[in-house]
């Protein structure tokens, strides 16, 4: 019995209320030694009766020390297809020894979200971990792959693509804040002193820091940043110094201009990322390329499309179909007139 004391709003009500607690029942066939049901590392079901606990490093002893674990794989393609795509993109970092996707325990044609790639040299493995950033296209569920070395537990930068988006937005905010600062104070500024007066948000912890990180990540130089926003700023050189002054532009056109520039930056990053993991890679085998072409076949010529039409099916806008409708209408009209004459 639990007593809770509280005051009622209406007069005459009881100030003490009693809540009856149900007795706790013990769960039958539950054991603390057989928990949890699913592994935190592999996300797979744990068979406590017939299996032994796994550390996740078993494949390092099978394939070798230069093994990389790849996770967050798409599950809408077969293992062979994903292996060929990964082999094509990872071969540019070094010669691969083994690349194998694990099958799902319930469906052998679907991967288990884990793939292992083994290099011949340890140098190539670390080169891959440092530089690789792969985001699959929309046909492969737009997945961002995670790479981890089983030998040293080093991982790639999983937030690489999210950082690019953050830096694009930060560059637009820096341009807006710099323009407002110069316009409000009615002054000019040296290009080397911009970071003292304009600030931005950092990616981690979202702290306010002096501007410059996003500019160097996107443009590499402040000069390229000013040239990119040429409709907002005027660049003049005086005594080996670059001085920035604002242009005249209203708020409505300013918003439209910055939105267009943001679209340009997004297109630039998307074009770089789409080619990034394909360039300097080995060509796929003929069988795999043929399968890729069947997903997106080329359109037939217009003459071939007309020949492929059936005799019984016509589109609404087809001349032959319209002519048939006209003939049927005339025949029905003649039959109606003949019936009227016979009736008289």
Same domain, 102 and 138: yes
Which of 106, 132, 158 is the C-terminal boundary of a domain? 158
Residues of the chain with pLDDT > 90, as a percent, come to 47
Which of 267, 282, 301 is the C-terminal boundary of a domain? 267
Paired tokens of 245: 């002054």
Residue 2 — very low, low, confident or very high, per pLDDT cuts 50/70/90? very low
Contacting residues for 56 by C-beta, under 8 A, at least 6 apart: 41, 42, 69, 150
pLDDT for 304 beyond 80 = no
Q: What is the dihedral of CA 168, 169, 171, 175, to 10 degrees?
A: 140
Contacting residues for 118 by C-beta, under 8 A, at least 6 apart: 63, 64, 66, 67, 68, 96, 97, 98, 99
What are the Cα distances from residue 247, in Å, to 178, 186, 244?
Answer: 12, 11, 10
Same domain, 154 and 234: no
Structural domains counted in the chain: 2
Which of 267, 301, 319 is the C-terminal boundary of a domain? 267
Report yes or no: 97 and 118 within 8 Å, Cβ to Cβ.
yes
pLDDT for 305 beyond 70 = no
Same domain, 173 and 115: no
What are the Cα distances from residue 27, in Å, to 22, 32, 60, 68, 307?
Answer: 15, 11, 40, 42, 71
111-119 and 96-103 strand pairing: antiparallel
Rg of the chain over all Cα atoms, to the nearest angstrom: 34
Closest CA to 258 of 173, 191, 162, 334: 173
Same domain, 132 and 176: no
- DSSP assignment of 67-132 equals EEEEES--SSS-HHHHHHHHHHHHGGGS-EEEEEEEEPSS-TTSEEEEEEEEES-HHHHHHHHHH-
Question: What's the rounded mean pLDDT across residues 170-192?
Answer: 93
User: What CATH number does residue 230 fall under?
Assistant: 1.10.10
111-119 and 199-201 strand pairing: unpaired
In a domain, 36, yes or no: no
In a domain, 306, yes or no: no
In a domain, 150, yes or no: yes
| Alpha-carbon gap, residue 201 to 119, rounded angstroms | 39
Question: What's the rounded mean pLDDT across residues 55-66?
Answer: 89
pLDDT, tens digit, 9 for 90 and up, residues 77-117:
899 989 988 998 898 899 999 999 999 888 888 888 899 99
Same domain, 167 and 122: no
Same domain, 70 and 148: yes
pLDDT for 314 beyond 60 = no
In a domain, 142, yes or no: yes
Report yes or no: 39 and 100 within 8 Å, Cβ to Cβ.
no
Same domain, 125 and 176: no
Same domain, 82 and 153: yes
Residue 233's domain comprises 161-267
Same domain, 133 and 219: no
In a domain, 64, yes or no: yes
Report yes or no: 206 and 199 within 8 Å, Cβ to Cβ.
no
Report yes or no: 182 and 245 within 8 Å, Cβ to Cβ.
yes
In a domain, 48, yes or no: no
pLDDT for 3 beyond 50 = no
User: What CATH number does residue 74 fall under?
Assistant: 3.30.70.330
Same domain, 142 and 197: no
Report yes or no: 291 and 77 within 8 Å, Cβ to Cβ.
no
Question: What's the rounded mean pLDDT across residues 70-78?
Answer: 91
Contacting residues for 327 by C-beta, under 8 A, at least 6 apart: none
In a domain, 236, yes or no: yes
Same domain, 173 and 142: no
Same domain, 183 and 146: no
Q: Among 42-56, 138-152, 195-209, 277-291, which stretch is predicted with the lowest mean pLDDT?
A: 277-291
| Alpha-carbon gap, residue 313 to 139, rounded angstroms | 33
In a domain, 310, yes or no: no
pLDDT, tens digit, 9 for 90 and up, residues 131-174:
898 888 888 888 999 999 999 999 999 999 999 999 999 999 99
Closest CA to 116 of 134, 100, 96, 92: 100
Cis amide prior to 67 (ω within 30 degrees): no
Contacting residues for 130 by C-beta, under 8 A, at least 6 apart: 156
């Amino acid at each position: 019995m639990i007593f809770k004391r509280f005051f009622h709003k209406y007069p005459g009500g009881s100030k003490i209320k009693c809540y009856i607690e149900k007795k706790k029942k013990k769960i039958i066939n539950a054991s603390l030694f057989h928990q949890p049901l699913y592994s935190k590392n592999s996300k797979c079901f744990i068979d406590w009766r017939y299996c032994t606990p796994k550390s996740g490093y078993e494949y390092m002893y099978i394939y070798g020390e230069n093994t990389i674990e790849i996770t967050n794989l798409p599950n809408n393609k077969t293992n062979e297809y994903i292996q060929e795509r990964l082999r094509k993109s990872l071969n540019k970092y070094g010669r691969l020894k083994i690349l194998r996707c694990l099958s799902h325990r319930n469906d052998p044609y679907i991967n288990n979200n884990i793939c292992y790639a083994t290099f011949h040299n340890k140098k190539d493995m670390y080169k891959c971990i440092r530089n690789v950033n792969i985001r699959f296209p929309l046909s492969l569920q737009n997945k961002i792959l995670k790479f981890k070395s089983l030998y040293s537990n080093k991982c790639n930068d999983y937030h690489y693509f999210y950082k690019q988006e953050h830096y694009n937005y930060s560059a637009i905010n820096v341009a807006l804040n710099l323009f407002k600062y110069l316009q409000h104070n009615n002054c000019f500024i040296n290009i080397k002193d911009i970071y003292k007066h304009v600030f931005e948000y950092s990616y981690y912890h979202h702290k306010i820091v002096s501007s410059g990180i996003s500019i160097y990540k996107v443009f590499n130089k402040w000069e390229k940043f000013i040239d990119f926003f040429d409709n907002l700023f005027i660049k003049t050189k005086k005594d080996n110094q670059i001085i920035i002054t604002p242009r005249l532009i209203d708020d409505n056109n300013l918003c439209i201009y910055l939105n267009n520039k943001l679209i340009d930056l997004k297109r630039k990053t998307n074009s770089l990322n789409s080619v990034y993991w394909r360039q300097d890679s080995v060509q796929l085998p003929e069988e795999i390329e043929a399968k890729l072409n069947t997903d997106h076949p080329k359109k037939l010529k217009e003459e071939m499309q007309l020949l492929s039409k059936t005799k019984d099916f016509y589109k609404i806008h087809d001349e032959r179909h319209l002519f048939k409708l006209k003939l049927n209408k005339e025949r029905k009209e003649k039959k109606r007139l003949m019936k009227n004459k016979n009736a008289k």
